A and B are shown apart, each in its own frame.
Chain A
Amino acid sequence: GAVVSQHPSRVICKSGTSVKIECRSLDFQATTMFWYRQFPKQSLMLMATSNEGSKATYEQGVEKDKFLINHASLTLSTLTVTSAHPEDSSFYICSGQGGNTEAFFGQGTRLTVV
């Protein structure tokens, strides 16, 4: 299957700092990128959907000014967690979709805010 490369896999940051997570589709053009968050023992929660070249659509309850999404090209999307706090500690996963096909997940980023 297609590959989505997500980095970093783990990051620890201090409270109040910002963290950028990067997802690259390596062998297909991801016209749509989904960003999810998953807390321990809970299901995937969709945070936002972004289409290349346009602003992301955020799910209800997700602060767009806190979770900045950039999808400037068909192979790269980034999520920046701004002014991170301990409650933002979670497993963040991206998923790329090219057209009306299946989506492929990145490896995930485990964020710990201390």
Chain B
Amino acid sequence: QKEVEQNSGPLSVPEGAIASLNCTYSDRGSQSFFWYRQYSGKSPELIMSIYSNGDKEDGRFTAQLNKASQYVSLLIRDSQPSDSATYLCAVSRSQGNLIFGKGTKLSVKP
């Protein structure tokens, strides 16, 4: 089993809709979880971090964590064409360094 798994997509949603991005991980000792956004030709940028079970909201973004199910998700409300990018899930290994998923490509259609 891969350490961090994401559906590669592309995930296509209409403008204004909610985009839901999912990620599962294998290391039960993982403590920190991050979502990064990567535009084509650019390096990734951190958009959300979450450390405890439940939801964490920041503007149009909500991260959800369920450690029992080893599942973390990112919801983007009122999706905009500018949200079109690849979203990378990152999970800390027990020893602290990050492992990235392969990313989900999101396309928001006007």
Interface hit among B13-21, B39-47, B63-71, B74-82: B39-47
A43 touches B102 (CB 8 A): yes
Which residues of chain B (25-47) have a CB below 8 Å from chain A? 31-32, 34, 36, 38, 41-46
Q: Secondary structure of the B side of the interface?
A: strand
B103 touches A100 (CB 8 A): no
CB closest chain-A residue, reference B36: A105
Which residues of chain A (1-32) have a CB below 8 Å from chain B? 1, 6, 32
Per a CB cutoff under 8 Å, which of A6, A43, A100, A106 touches B96? A100
One digit per residue, 1 when the CB lies within 8 angstroms of any chain A CB and 0 when it does not, for chain B 76-110 equals 00000000001010101000111110110000000
One digit per residue, 1 when the CB lies within 8 angstroms of any chain B CB and 0 when it does not, for chain A 86-100 equals 000001010101011
Q: Size of chain B's interface in residues, with CB distance under 8 A? A: 24
**Shortest beta-carbon distance from B36 to chain A in Å:** 8
Q: Which residues of A contact B62 (CB under 8 A)?
A: none
A32 touches B43 (CB 8 A): no
B46 touches A102 (CB 8 A): yes
Q: Which residues of B contact A106 (CB under 8 A)?
A: 43
Per a CB cutoff under 8 Å, which of A32, A43, A49, A102 touches B34? A102
**Shortest beta-carbon distance from B103 to chain A in Å:** 5
Which residue, B41, B44, B99, has most C-beta atoms of chain A within 10 A?
B44
Q: Which residues of B contact A32 (CB under 8 A)?
A: 96-97
Residues of B within 8 A of A (CB): 8, 31-32, 34, 36, 38, 41-46, 49, 86, 88, 90, 92, 96-100, 102-103
- Contacts A100-B96, A103-B98 known; 20 new A-B pairs at CB < 8 A: A6-B43, A32-B96, A43-B8, A43-B86, A44-B88, A44-B100, A44-B102, A46-B99, A93-B44, A97-B96, A97-B97, A97-B98, A100-B92, A102-B32, A103-B34, A103-B46, A103-B90, A105-B44, A107-B43, A108-B42
Residues of A within 8 A of B (CB): 1, 6, 32, 34, 43-44, 46, 49, 91, 93, 95, 97, 99-108
